[in-house]
Structure 1
Amino acid sequence: MSAILSVDDLNDFISPGVACIKPIETLPSAPPAPSSADETEVILDGSPQAAAAAADPAQISLTDCLACSGCVTSAEAVLVSLQSHAEVLSTLDAAPALRVVGPDAAGGFSVEGLEDEDAKLFVASVSPQTRANLAATCGAHVSERDAGRMLDNLLRAPTGLAKGGRWHNRFAWVVDTNVAREASLVLGADEVLSTSGAGATAPSQPILASACPGWVCYAEKTHPHVLGHLSRVKSPQALMGTLLKTALSRKLGIPPSRIWHLAVMPCFDKKLEASREELTDEVWDGAGLPGRGVRDVDCVITSKEILMLAESRGISLFDIPGDQLSTPPPEPFPDSRLHDFLFPQRGTRNPPRAAGSSGGPLYHILQSRAAQTPGSEIQMSQGRNADVVEYLVILNGEPIFKAARYYGFRNIQNLVRKLKPARSSRMPGGRPFGSARRPAGKSASLEYGYVEVMACPGGCTNGGGQIKVDDPVVVERKNFAGKPGPQEQRDWLSEVDEAYFSGDEAWREVDASSGDVVGGISRSYIDDTLAHWSDMTGIGLDRLAFTSYREVISDVGRDKTTDAEKVVRLAGKIGGGW
């Protein structure tokens, strides 16, 4: 999805797809309620139904859409638009926010305002790609960290969203998804380089990245044969959502439905991810199976929608201060161990340029594999285009691990075609279909241990929800004479990437004396934090940190005729029959 989505703009939507699982249909009206003897029926124009209210319009939830393979464009676009800046404002204005008080002398926390059933505790998480995009939009004088402080002030400070609205509500905590990214990188490396994931069924090799929801949705609907290869580790957005909902509900003694989590992301498809039944409390606090429970991420808005959110309160994002002194320190999180994890004193950094702009799972796995074998080195070779890159970990000139990066649907289609299993020929002596170009005894790409797959060419800094070079705010600030062309688009993406990678020099490296630090991430620290999280909530990591996928099949709109019925019909057409 490449353009900003709003209910008002979507005039291309006519009806759900042919195979929609919620077709528009006319149902018989409910029987009238029995009337008492004292009631008098009023008939207008001779029709007892004239005074009845009009039928409600058909309602299709985003969960319904994800359960169907019939629609992939307009229907999903309409549903995605329901997660918007308008929903954020309406939720903030629905009731006074819950207020966390503490710690007290005993270190405990309490919650005020629970008597109002509509009151919620507001928390938010922000992606580094969004911060980089907003920094580039503000200009060269604003860094990615400055943009992060501006967002923090918008969401959390009294001078931000809280200065308007009915209840002057604000977000209690605004966290950086980079901390969840570090945890997902460690879990992902263990999944690929160990015999099995922590408490999860290990996927088949080559293991494919699953942090991109556009790619996952595409695989579930069109290429189910690759689902066994998808990484089971939750994306940083999903992992952060589960952490916030589980930790706050357990420590504060409130149900997850009273916690409202907003995620600010570079991609519209992240709204699809937030609506997955696999990412609800039904999985981690219920039967362990997907269900329509309380979502771990209640709403996702994109970088573009942040501008709309600010403007709706009469705020110019560019006028919000982004210096360190203007940003109040975070309130104490109810769990001190998780507070240190969510708000590290050293800060967080984005992966280096060699890791790309999508969080760096491939880079971390390569670095981890090289660290396992002292003396090895990593070699890179360019593929058929800039979005296909292959990597080798080599020891004494011999490859010991191979991985690749595939960005963009054009390249993804080539990848899944290679992974498609060969079909047996029905002809005597025939060769299996799809095996003509494969080496004997090998299935396609079996040599890959891991493939980083992202739907957007160029990675997540080029996500569909990012502010683009032809958006009015950029055109105005750049003073373009005409419509920006391809070169201007490339230059703009370079500016966003520059902002994304600009924090490397200012970041203080982690002490690597323990020997388990890879790319500035301590595996032992992550493992200890995850173990503490699991112990504190009483939930296993297999439910907290891992997820599942399923083939999406819809029978609606398909021919459900059995083979026997088809034979009868055919016999009737040719004059025969039973």
Structure 2
Amino acid sequence: MSLSGGLKLTDLNDFITPSQACIKPINVPKTDSTTEIKIDDTGDYYEINAYGEETKLETATITLNDCLACSGCITSAESMLVSLQSHKELYNVIGDNRIAIETGQLQRLRTIVVSISPQSRASMAAKFNLSIQQVYDRLNWFFKERLGINYVVDTSFSRDFSLIESAKEFVQRYIEYYKNNNKQGVLPMISSSCPGWICYAEKTHDFILPYIDTTKSPQQVMGSIIKYYIGGKLGLLPNQIYHVAVMPCYDKKLEASRPCFTNETYKTRDVDCVITTGEIEKMFEEQSLDIQTIPELPSDGFLTKYGISNETNKPILLGTLGSSSGGYLHFIMKYAAYHLFNIVVTDENIINATGPIRFKQGRNNDYREVHLINPENENEVLLCFVYAYGFRNIQNLVRKVKAVNNPRLKKPLPFHYVEVMACPSGCINGGGQLKSDNGSNYVSKEWIEQAENAYQSISLVNGFQDPTDNSAINELYKEWLESPESAKAREMLHTEYKAIQKSEVNALMVSW
């Protein structure tokens, strides 16, 4: 793995120390004047010279290789796992299957399943001016007909499990905290589907781990379904299935590599390989294919959130309302309002802040509070939910939770639920998403908005489905998990987070 030309570290350690700032060195022109740096309310940096003149500074960019090189956020062992997860590994498994067939060693065959995230579909739709349905059907053709993949599935399906389980967990925590009057429930509950946020919390703020939702992300729920439910249906052991997830984020590679998502008996992971949206684009280039001209293969509806088209009578994708990071706040607010206060909140209420819902905008576009108001007393906020995207807002969140946790400060509970994402604008702006064709790696607000619009278009064009109305999910609860409250449901759909202890590094051993 290549390193940045401006970066060289020896004695790499698994954590940043004060002597190893997370920064990519840049050339700064020398001047004779004394200057100072100012940061405005939007987070932009300005250089102020001796005459009071301000010059906006360019943001230093850090590539994935640079981040892995500093070894601050990702351990050296984790960086090795990430390097092993690429589309080349998928090619290797396809090649092994081909050899197994040619040599008659069918026992060596592995069933390959590819699960595609809705954010990746949206990124491709935005770049290539296609509909979400066209992207999915063309990827279905590419994987099945071109590469010989056995199954292509949709992580929107497994996301319904994540949404339902997260909502149930929030309601239970709220009841334990307030209605049982014993403060045993841990609030606020903070979402857990962003692995970048989880990695940060485990390594730097272990006090916040009890607040994090224990529900697995859609990626990992799909891994459980494929390896342990579908595998059983097909008569296959977990290590006889190779599961590839197409995701918008490099951190999803780290998530798939977590020890708790590994089956030691069969020496396999629930998600064997994660490839980003950008890697899919590269695969098309390597295959000399253009997604705008390849054929379409309609989905068979297998593990896909779908309805039936009135025009073609074939399966079509259905959307989920809410943010392009999964719609957690949207669904949990509706669910909690009804199950805790018997208040019916509609989708339109949450989207447009009508009825019992009110918005309170933060200092930037990546922070917003969503309030459930008591219909009988408009001055009473029953629930305060928050969107907090990007590390600037995450740091503010951590400080507020720490204040609640400190008995000396006696701070009141500021909010009840937080949808956290490490990336500004959330998953639709993940580091593995496609870039525009303007030749720049800079992601503009216009480009993010284009991908966001593509993501939301599936609900507008094909329609949407509330997770609790997904009959396939309800059937799996009964057939696979025995019941929604079973021990098996807990094992397959939930996980836990643990603090990772730091080890000190001798700063004198660090060389630049």
Could you state the TM-score of these two structures normalised by the residue count of structure 2? Answer: 0.74
Residue of structure 2 in register with 1:71 after alignment: 72
**Shift in alpha-carbon separation, 1:558–1:459, aligned structure 2, 3 A:** same
The match for 2:95 among 86, 93, 100 is 93
Conserved 8 A contact 2:371-2:385: yes
- Secondary structure of 2:438's counterpart equals helix
Unaligned runs of 5+ in 2: 16-66, 176-183, 309-314, 346-355, 508-512
Residue of structure 2 in register with 1:491 after alignment: 446
Matches within 5 A, 1:162-311: 170-195=148-173, 204-282=186-264, 293-311=267-285
Matches within 5 A, 1:462-473: 462-469=429-436
| 1:341 Cα deviation after fit | 6.3
Conserved 8 A contact 1:97-1:122: no
Conserved 8 A contact 2:153-2:303: no
The match for 2:318 among 338, 341, 349 is 349
Matches within 5 A, 1:51-70: none
The answer on 1:330 being equivalent to 2:277 is: no
CA deviation map 1:104-133 (0-9, x unaligned): xxxxxxxx9994454211001000110010
**Shift in alpha-carbon separation, 1:330–1:97, aligned structure 2, 3 A:** farther
The match for 1:156 among 134, 140, 144 is 144
**Shift in alpha-carbon separation, 1:230–1:375, aligned structure 2, 3 A:** closer
Percent same amino acid among aligned pairs? 34
Conserved 8 A contact 1:129-1:265: yes
Residue of structure 1 in register with 2:39 after alignment: none
Distance in 1, Cα, partners of 2:208 & 2:405: 15
| 1:370 Cα deviation after fit | 3.0
The answer on 1:124 being equivalent to 2:114 is: yes
| 1:19 Cα deviation after fit | 4.8
- Secondary structure of 1:467's counterpart equals coil
Distance in 2, Cα, partners of 1:10 & 1:94: 34
- Secondary structure of 1:534's counterpart equals coil
Conserved 8 A contact 1:245-1:296: yes
- The farther-off stretch of 361-370 and 526-535 is 526-535
Distance in 2, Cα, partners of 1:523 & 1:122: 25
CA deviation map 1:364-417 (0-9, x unaligned): 111222334236611111012111111111122122111111000111011112
The answer on 1:507 being equivalent to 2:501 is: no
Amino acid at match of 1:532: E
The match for 1:541 among 489, 503, 506 is 489
Number of residue-to-residue matches in the alignment: 423
Conserved 8 A contact 1:95-1:119: yes
| 1:299 Cα deviation after fit | 0.5
**Shift in alpha-carbon separation, 1:251–1:558, aligned structure 2, 3 A:** farther
Amino acid at match of 1:553: Q
Conserved 8 A contact 2:318-2:464: no
Conserved 8 A contact 1:131-1:148: yes
CA deviation map 1:117-163 (0-9, x unaligned): 54211001000110010011112xx1111111111111112xx23xx
- Secondary structure of 2:480's counterpart equals helix
Distance in 1, Cα, partners of 2:3 & 2:93: 22
Cα RMSD for the two superposed structures: 3.5
The match for 2:372 among 375, 390, 393 is 393
Residue of structure 2 in register with 1:415 after alignment: 397
Distance in 1, Cα, partners of 2:270 & 2:100: 18
Conserved 8 A contact 1:456-1:462: yes
The answer on 1:450 being equivalent to 2:417 is: yes
**Shift in alpha-carbon separation, 1:114–1:498, aligned structure 2, 3 A:** farther
Distance in 1, Cα, partners of 2:3 & 2:286: 17
| 1:421 Cα deviation after fit | 5.5
Conserved 8 A contact 1:179-1:348: no
- Secondary structure of 1:452's counterpart equals strand
| 1:226 Cα deviation after fit | 0.6
Conserved 8 A contact 1:381-1:390: yes
Structure showing the higher helix proportion among its residues = 2
Distance in 1, Cα, partners of 2:99 & 2:228: 19
- Secondary structure of 1:95's counterpart equals helix
Residue of structure 2 in register with 1:381 after alignment: 360
CA deviation map 1:416-468 (0-9, x unaligned): 122125898xxxxxx94xx2xxxxx435xx24221000000001110000012
**Shift in alpha-carbon separation, 1:256–1:539, aligned structure 2, 3 A:** farther
| 1:70 Cα deviation after fit | 6.5
Conserved 8 A contact 1:125-1:174: yes
Amino acid at match of 2:368: V
Conserved 8 A contact 1:19-1:558: no
